[in-house]
Amino acid sequence: MHHWRRDVVELAALFTAVAVADGVANLIGHGPDGPALLVISALALVATAAFHTWWARRHGHAPPADDTGARPAGTGTLWRMRTTVRDEPGSLASLCAALAGRHVDILSLQTHPLAEGTVDEFLLRAPAELEGCAITRAVSLAGGAGTWIERADAHDLVDVPTRVLGLAARTAVDAAELPLALRQLLGRCTIRSLPARPAGGGPGPQPVPADGVLEDTVMRLRAPEGGVITVERPYLPFTPTEFARARALVELDARLGPRIPRGEDVLTLPEGNAITVRRADTGDLAAARRMHERCSARTLSMRYHGPVGDADRYLNHLLSPRFGRTLAAQSASGRIVGLGHLLWDGDETEVALLVEDEWQHRGVGTELLGRLVAMAVEAGCASVYAVTQASNTGMVAAMRGLGLPLDYQIEEGTLVITARIDAAPAATRPPYDDRREAHRSPAGLRD
């Protein structure tokens, strides 16, 4: 924008100076007091110059015009970027200069030393109109190689030490948090927990050394219970630094041993019976098997979709916090009368219920399902699904009672009901448990 007011003042000062000089010249040429008038003219010119200097300084601190695409601080798009640079003096400086030339702010920087070169991981704030491909192009021209970039969010603004300490604290409280903690630590990846002896029988996974194995985009870690935790990221190799952090989390989990939060809620069912809902784990294996013995063959077949005699073989897997979270409904006498499972399954999350026959149609399954979905919301899941049979009217009614958008699919006589959590208005979602902290999505977890 042209500063016309300043130009007018400068022109006025110029014309004034010319007029004064002309008047002085005429007086000197026609009068005897020429020297005195010259002094007066000099003083007038000095005063004019001083006024011009004062005016320029006063307006020199005004905000510059927005001719270069400048934006208010704190606006723009957040990006996470990773690139490899040569291990030479000035390589990082060239990269930073290229980003600055695009008006990209560097909010944080992590370095991952390699045998050859260094992997630098940036959190960037770029102008909203600047595309990711333009950033990677500038980085490539500045010497970056193997550049990867994706959108970030406000959670990434937390510095790495703070985030790692928070993940360690959550893992220390609840063993079921380990897969979620690894997912949040390593970003978009697939995590598989393979037990030493699969629930359906057959050989277990190949053992791994105590220190684990790192193979480019795959890391394998020894699970505390003897199985294997596999973490896979198909597009971005893991660095030794990431491998060391993941191994430290798994070692922490192994040292602390089996543990789950011991909170419980005593509820009164519509018909007046009181039940206690609490977290369950492999320590409840014997009580869960006794509940199986009290269930009819029809109830077990609708839950496990297979031979009734194999039902007990799945319990150790289902109750393990490695594969999800389990809630138990307990009667006033201390007997487990219902189990609800929230199971990590790739990019999706499965919910499953089993209520023994005498306690069906009393609201036990509805109570368990609502709390499981609340846990899924808390973990940031986009959806949950239930696999059942069309004849299982109790499960169908419980899913409909959630008040969430539902999708029904029938495959070879099996009904799959998917509830979209993220598509529902906040008011219709099951309430959070206020005693726990909300977590990011466990996308990429698989049992």
Cα–Cα distance between 231 and 189 in angstroms, integer? 7
Q: For residues 375-400, give the mean pLDDT.
A: 84
Q: Tell me the residue range of the domain where 397 lies.
A: 264-446
Same domain, 296 and 237: no
Of 10-14, 69-73, 238-242, 390-394, the range with the lowest mean pLDDT is 69-73
DSSP letter string, 193-240 = EE-SS-TT-S--PPP--TT-EEETTEEEEE-TTS-EEEEE-TTSPPPH
- pLDDT grade, residue 269 (50/70/90)? confident
How many domains, in total, are found in the chain? 3
Q: Are 282 and 320 in contact (CB under 8 A)?
A: yes
- Residue 23 confidence (pLDDT) above 70: no
Same domain, 166 and 221: yes
Same domain, 239 and 277: no
- Residue 339 confidence (pLDDT) above 90: yes
Half-sphere exposure of 114 (CA within 13 A, CB side): 16
Of 284-293, 302-311, 329-338, the range with the lowest mean pLDDT is 302-311
Query: Is residue 233 one of the residues assigned to a domain?
Result: yes
Q: Quick check: pTM over 0.75?
A: no
Nearest to 339 by CA among 330, 350, 328: 328
- pLDDT grade, residue 436 (50/70/90)? very low
Strand partners, 80: 123, 150
Q: For residues 342-347, give the mean pLDDT.
A: 74
Same domain, 213 and 292: no
Q: 3-state DSSP call for residue 48? A: helix
Same domain, 295 and 207: no
* Average pLDDT in the chain: 76
Q: For residues 328-339, give the mean pLDDT.
A: 90
Taking each helix axis from N to C end, the angle separating 91-101 and 132-141, rounded to the nearest 10 degrees, works out to 140
Of 20-29, 148-157, 399-408, the range with the lowest mean pLDDT is 20-29
pLDDT of amino acid 123: 87
- pLDDT grade, residue 327 (50/70/90)? very high
Of 193-202, 306-315, 332-341, 415-424, the range with the lowest mean pLDDT is 193-202
Q: For residues 76-97, give the mean pLDDT.
A: 87
Q: 3-state DSSP call for residue 35? A: helix
59 compared with 380, residue with greater pLDDT:
380
pLDDT of amino acid 268: 76
Among 256, 281, 302, residue at a domain's last position: 256
Same domain, 442 and 305: yes
3 compared with 175, residue with greater pLDDT:
175
Query: Is residue 49 one of the residues assigned to a domain?
Result: no
Half-sphere exposure of 368 (CA within 13 A, CB side): 33
Using alpha carbons, list the distances in angstroms from residue 415 to 203, 355, 389, 395, 421: 31, 19, 5, 11, 19
Cα–Cα distance between 325 and 319 in angstroms, integer? 8
Q: Are 417 and 401 in contact (CB under 8 A)?
A: no
Q: Which two tokens stand for residue 81?
A: 């970027």
Same domain, 239 and 272: no
